A = this chain, B = another copy of it.
Amino acid sequence: MAVSERGPRERMVFSAAQLIRREGVAATGMREVAAHAGAPRGSLQHYFPGGKEQLVNEAVGWAGRYAGNRVARFLAALPEPTPAALFAEMVRQWTDEYEAAGFAGGCPVAAATVDCAQSTDSTREATAAAFAAWTAPVARALTDLGVPGERAEPLATLMISALEGAILIARAERDVRALTTVAHELGPLLDAAVRERT
């Protein structure tokens, strides 16, 4: 796997996110996480004395920060940065993965929300924080691109909602159709918001 040589703790968080993405929270075992990370089983209780709950929460937090950080990188890489182009890039990350590696994984934050929102309140809070850590950079990017301030956050929420839903449908259908559709349909709406700054 050529896991970059971070500490075993970080590797386990990363592996947890990977497995949760694929199988859901409940179906992901602690032993499985340790094995996937190439870490000893005993390290689990050493690094995560809070048990599975803590590990899952950290995996969700990691995923939220990861998604948030990518936004800036997307923006920097765009030759002609517009809101629609940013959204297309966010979507493209998923279509690329699905076409290259199959439809095995979804969004770990979505998985944690579905599996734990009702049963584990600390995880629910972690998912809310993850969505916030993702939405904020998107909204900031929108304002930077010329979207009026009061519309940036609603549009960011819309973008992430549509993306999450399309990921679900794409996995169900094993087809990127839903993803390309939302990118195509939402693009004009997003770019139109730029010109509204009267």
Contact = CB atoms under 8 A, between A and B. Distances in A.
A179 to B, nearest CB: 9
A58 B100 CA distance: 32
- Of A114, A117, A119, A188, the most chain B CB neighbours within 10 A belong to A114
A34 to B, nearest CB: 19
B165 A169 contact: no
Given A24-B114, A157-B178, 16 more contacts: A24-B24, A25-B26, A26-B115, A106-B117, A114-B115, A124-B174, A127-B172, A128-B173, A131-B169, A157-B166, A158-B162, A158-B182, A161-B162, A161-B164, A165-B165, A185-B189
A176 to B, nearest CB: 12
Given A24-B26, A111-B114, A114-B115, A161 B169 contact: yes
A118 B23 contact: yes
Q: Give the copy number.
A: 2
Interface in A102-148: 103-106, 109-111, 113-115, 117-119, 124, 127-128, 130-131
Given A23-B119, A128-B173, A131-B173, A164 B168 contact: yes
A154 interface: yes
Nearest to A175: B128
